[in-house]
Structure 1
Amino acid sequence: MLLKTSSFTLFSSLLIALLLPSLISSQTCQKSCGKVLIKYPFGTGPGCGDPRFQPYITCNQQQLTFTTHTGCYPITSIDYNNQVIYISDPTISTCSCTQPSKGFGLDWDAPFSFHDDTIFALLDCSTTSSPIYKAGGSGNNLTFPMCDSQGSSICSLLYSCEAVSRLSLPISTCCVYTPVDLGPSFEMDLQKLQCTSYSALYGYNSQETNPEGWKYGIAIKYKFNFDNDYPGLCASCEKSNGVCGYDSGPYKSFVCNCPGGFNTTNDCFYGQSWSSGSRLKAGTLAVLSFIWFSLLDFM
């Protein structure tokens, strides 16, 4: 009797160990976060998407967020065809509001870079101590080695906004980066640049002369890998209604998270899930059958 009890306990323990990963994975990867569609290389939590992107793109309380060393920023949309993320910064100055900011930066080792459409306008910059200005000629003549010479029109339009005009400063204290040139660290430290605020936009919305209609925010590019090739395993997984992810092992190997709540190393080759929200793979069933019949022979 004791032998049978021990055998049953052993079988139960093995059954739980084999079932547990399936039960956990059924709650792991989602296909959306709030109103934003989630596809590779992004994910809604650990084990989802590409592990290189997971520390920077997170879903918390149905809000998709982009995180860098300068702060956390809401993601407004993702253009998967062109591989562009659009984020907003609550400290951006627009026609509606001008406010102080510490700036914005990307982590140097993160798989992101600024999109060429992104335009930064640094506002309220000191003409005497800011490194963006360089004395030249005589009198009050200044050159702007770190500013785009074509940015004067953008500055003029921004200063036509009531919120920006309240700064009561000359337009010459506005400096525009376009295309973005923040150096190898992608860092815009407004305190170091001696500017109190900044504006950022990635499009004019067919209203080039109306800054109230501009698309304010920051456009950021990403790449899948060095060659920027979409992984074939992930494409097959998504075609089978799965979500691309990775395991918790040291090598972060690819897994396909399926609607039934189980992970595979290729795609979701099963039909509808059990009503309980979990299923076993065929290999797992075979292992369980082998263990059970072995125990029966042993008893």
Structure 2
Amino acid sequence: MGFLYTHRHIPKNKSLHSSSSSSLFILIIQLIFPFLTLTSAQSSQCRTSCGNIPINYPFGIDDGCGSPYYRHILVCTSGQLQLRTPSGKYPVRSVSYSDPHILVSDPFMWNCLDGDNFRPTRPFSLDTSTHFSLSPQNDYLFFNCSKNQVIIEPKPIFCERFPERCDSSCDSASYLCRHLPECASALGGGSCCSYYPKATESLRLMLKYCSSYTSVHWRNVGNTAPYDQVPEYGIRVDFDIPVTTSCLRCQDTAKGGGKCGFDSQTQDFLCLCDEGNTTTYCKDPNISWHRSKRGVVAGTVTAVSVAGAIGIGAGVWYLRKLRAKAPVTHGVQSNENRVF
């Protein structure tokens, strides 16, 4: 730790006392802070759910839990899980770890209750630096588009199975436009077409010439094809589960069954255990535990050793002694009463 010093002229009769006081105080500070112990969130401090949604690796809603790749991306507020993206925060409806994806809803998107009332909306976007991606199981419906700016035409049936063989027109005869989920006739005479944007920019461009849009994903219900999927409103976001040797070893029940986490300051891997944390695994015989208080965020300064406490006490005593000898200045700081 460093302090900012301002050079001022100090009278000769005060220089020895002032400089020696400053040097001794700085020495005490330097002796105190090396004794501060960095502790991290233990496994019991990592919440495993938000509302009724389970929170497992690689995610974490407490800093230091899960993978640093997904740090600060999921937020739990009053039992409501939200996904944070560059375009805003979105309510999370479910999280699947077996088929890794998150299902979110966007309150700004068109819904059945809107009917022909097309509200202004905003384009959904993801941070491309994260391990998230928009699922190809999403379909996007655009409403009330300008035919002068958007190519709107029916596509052949085979385009639904082989979209890469079709052009980028907005399909006005798509199955979803003809069978809107939950409200087949909600649009009345309103226009609808289906288009899959390749990037956020193409989505923004479509919304520039269309009144609104909505996302429909295909949910697997476990039936036999072709009735194994049903359309539902929402945005499916796929994610990767980083697999490392350190994490697998940490999670191994034979080695203690810890939880994978990280130091919130360095983002280095940590195995979170009930007794504390380690860079190896919970039952590693070569570690000594540093216990921390419950609810402490990983990587923050949370505990002080006995020697550190003694050092702090000595520093406080020395400051009081200095102040007792200092001249009374009624709150005015001068060269005579400066501590450092």
Query: Could you tell me the TM-score, scaled by structure 1's length?
Result: 0.65
Separation of aligned partners in 2, 1:68 and 1:108? 10
Taking a change above 3 Å as real, the CA distance of residues 150 and 82 of structure 1, as seen in their structure-2 partners, is: farther
Q: Structure 2: how far apart are the matches of 1:148 and 1:129? A: 11
Q: Tell me the distance in 2 between the aligned counterparts of 1:89 and 1:202.
A: 13
Does residue 36 of structure 2 align to residue 17 of structure 1? yes
Structure scoring higher RCO (CA < 8 A, sep ≥ 6) equals: 2
Tell me which residue corresponds to 1:155. Answer: 177
> Which residue is equivalent to 1:54?
71
Tell me the distance in 1 between the aligned counterparts of 2:63 and 2:169.
Answer: 41
Partner of residue 231 from structure 1, selected from 239, 244, 248 = 244
Matched, 1:106 2:106: no
Q: Counterpart amino acid of 1:81?
A: S
With over 3 angstroms needed to count, the CA separation of the structure-2 counterparts of 1:232 and 1:186, relative to structure 1, is farther
Superposition deviation, residue 147 in structure 1: 3.7
C-alpha contact 1:66 1:73 (8 A) present in aligned 2? yes
CA distance in 2, matches of 1:54, 1:187: 28
Quick check: which has more Rg, 1 or 2? 2
**1:128 corresponding residue in structure 2:** 148
Q: Deviations over 1:64-122 (max 9, x none)?
A: 21111211111111111121111111123233445522221222322211112111111
Kept in 1: contact 2:152–2:172 (CA 8 A): no
Contact 1:73 1:88 in 2 (8 A): yes
> For 1:30-81, what per-residue CA distance to the aligned partner results, in whole angstroms no more than 9, with x for missing partners?
2222211111211113222222211322223332211112111111111111
Assess if the C-alpha contact under 8 Å between 2:152 and 2:193 holds in 1. Answer: no
CA 1:46–1:151: 2 relative to 1, 3 Å: farther
1:162-217 CA distance string (max 9 Å, x none): 4332xx42xxx42213xx4423x576226744112212121267699xxxx74211
Structure 1 pair 259/61, CA: closer, same or farther in 2 (3 Å)? Answer: farther
Structure 1 gaps of 5+ residues are 1-8, 135-143, 279-287, 292-299
Percent identity (aligned): 28
* Corresponding pairs, count: 243
For residue 58 of structure 2, what is the aligned residue in structure 1?
41
Q: Which of 211, 216, 219 is the matching residue for 2:233? A: 216
Q: Which runs of 5+ in 2 are unaligned?
A: 1-27, 154-165, 285-290, 296-304, 309-340
Matched, 1:119 2:139: yes
The verdict on how the C-alpha distance between 1:109 and 1:187 changes in structure 2, with shifts beyond 3 A counting, is: farther
Amino acid at match of 2:263: D
Is the 2:172–2:193 contact (alpha carbons within 8 Å) kept by the matching residues of 1? no
Q: Is the 8 A contact 1:104 1:189 kept in 2?
A: no
User: What is the distance in 1 between the residues matched to 2:57 and 2:263?
Assistant: 15
What CA distance in whole angstroms lies between the structure 1 residues aligned with 2:219 and 2:39? 49
Q: Deviations over 1:244-271 (max 9, x none)?
A: 2111334x110122234x222123339x
Any conservation in 2 of the 1:84–1:221 contact (CA below 8 Å)? yes
For the aligned residues, what is the CA RMSD? 4.1
Change (3 A) 1:17 1:111: same
Contact 1:46/1:54 (CA < 8 Å) preserved in 2? Answer: yes
Letter in 1 for 2:193: C
Deviation, structure 1 residue 133: 4.5
Distance 1:175 1:39, change over 3 A: same
Does the CA contact (< 8 Å) of 1:94 and 1:164 recur in 2?
A: no
The one-letter code matched in structure 2 to 1:231 is T
The separation in 1 between residues aligned to 2:33 and 2:94, in whole angstroms, is: 44
- Compared with structure 1, are the counterparts of its residues 110 and 224 closer, same or farther at alpha carbon in structure 2 (3 Å cutoff)? same
Aligned match of 2:317:
none
1:164 corresponds to which residue? Answer: 187
Answer whether contact 1:86 1:220 (CA < 8 A) is retained.
yes
1:16–1:76 distance in 2 versus 1, CA, 3 Å: farther
1:246, 1:53 → 2: CA distance? 11
> What SS is found at the alignment partner of 2:39?
helix
Deviations 1:213-248, CA, capped at 9 Å, x for gaps: 7421111111235xxxx2232233334443321113
Letter of the 1:164 counterpart: L
* Counterpart AA for 1:263: N
Q: Are 2:42 and 2:274, in contact at CA under 8 Å, matched by a contact in 1? A: no
Question: Contact conserved, 2:215 with 2:235, CA < 8 A, in 1?
Answer: yes
- Superposed displacement of residue 15, structure 1: 11
What amino acid does structure 1 have at the position aligned with 2:178? S
Residue correspondence of structure 1 range 241-280 to structure 2 within 5 A: 241-250=257-266, 252-260=267-275, 262-269=276-283
